[in-house]
Structure 1
């Protein structure tokens, strides 16, 4: 086995947030499922990664029940589910060991958020010597508030603020930053051939 699909933070924590209504990619979960089906058909390793903020009391605190794979997607019993506490999937987990034991030399990354955990994992994987494929239409993100915006800003206020960085701009910036430096940027169809 030389490739692994890493599904990053496709978890209910995001859907429980009001910001979910601004998700830029309505096809996200369906595209992730297509990648999962394709990886399984090819006999590739599928690794599920969840983000946990223990003790925070928030939606990313596993104690509150949202740190689980979104209901539409299902991990098989032999597919590892790794729980991280950092933005990249390597630093606080045994992901590197899991990939090494499986003989993985390349990774395909997808999930949430485009510019945060997915991009950061792609960069770290590249630094560790993996060939990285970043599937842009199997990632999702949200508008980003200006750094001076109030932390308790509502979704309506976020969208009305002219300083807000649009999700489309976030995605484009991520593609430009990764392409040719850290990853090959492609689409779900580019991976699956359909």
Structure 2
């Protein structure tokens, strides 16, 4: 049994049942000209976590632990994208519209791909999801059961939307959840801070948070 220094208290884990889930580190959210920027966001905030997220991924690879990458994207005909999602707000471009990196958030388009620095290695699992949570309309639950995973480390974007939604879904399914504080980010600093506080409130009601350094140290000593 290993332990990771975390908040609100140390996170216990068994290496054979631990997996990393990297949420939506896609070009459309992180690079200039993508969907995130079309909503008026400063994508530089998200770009800053790419090196830390890469370090976390490489740490899991070095220990031979499973890594799951998710991508939020939709079918070309948008049959899995409800109007309530596509029509919200007043972005410069909407899901499915043509953008600098192909049709925005459409499966197979360049912008929907994971940023090159974090590209999945051969054999790593990639899950395409049409919603914010990674369990909705995907094989994630079956995948985790097949892997024997019972504890999950999370990274990715955005902290308060797809990351938090997936953590809450996982918590409801009985998984112990740990969020890498410096490998997740929001377009809004206050949203990230509030989400971290909510996750670890009331004795880790949703999960734990820890730095990447503490997570990797825990893996090394576990």
TM-score, normalised with respect to structure 1: 0.82
Residue from 172, 178, 185 that aligns with 2:209? 185
Residue from 103, 120, 124 that aligns with 1:75? 120
Assess, with a 3 A threshold, how the Cα gap between structure 1 residues 33 and 96 changes in structure 2: closer, same or farther: same
Answer 1 or 2: higher relative contact order, Cα 8 Å, separation at least 6.
2
In structure 1, the residue corresponding to 2:42 is in which secondary structure?
helix
In structure 1, the residue corresponding to 2:183 is in which secondary structure?
strand
Give 5+ residue unaligned stretches, structure 1.
143-166
Paired position in structure 1 for 2:185: 140
Paired position in structure 2 for 1:2: 17
1:2-151 equivalences in 2 (<5 Å): 2-14=17-29, 15=31, 16-17=33-34, 18=37, 19=40, 21-54=42-75, 55=78, 56-58=95-97, 59-62=104-107, 64-142=109-187
Report the Cα offset of residue 26 of structure 1. Answer: 4.7
Give 5+ residue unaligned stretches, structure 2.
1-15, 79-94, 98-103
TM-score, normalised with respect to structure 2: 0.72
How well do the aligned residues superpose, as a CA RMSD in angstroms? 1.7
Structure 1 runs of 4+ with >3 Å offset: 19-23
How far apart, CA to CA, are the structure 1 residues paired with 2:131 and 2:46? 24
Aligned residue pairs: how many? 170
How far apart, CA to CA, are the structure 1 residues paired with 2:136 and 2:61? 26
- Per-residue CA deviations over 1:65-97 (Å, capped at 9, x if unaligned) read 311110111211111100000111111110111
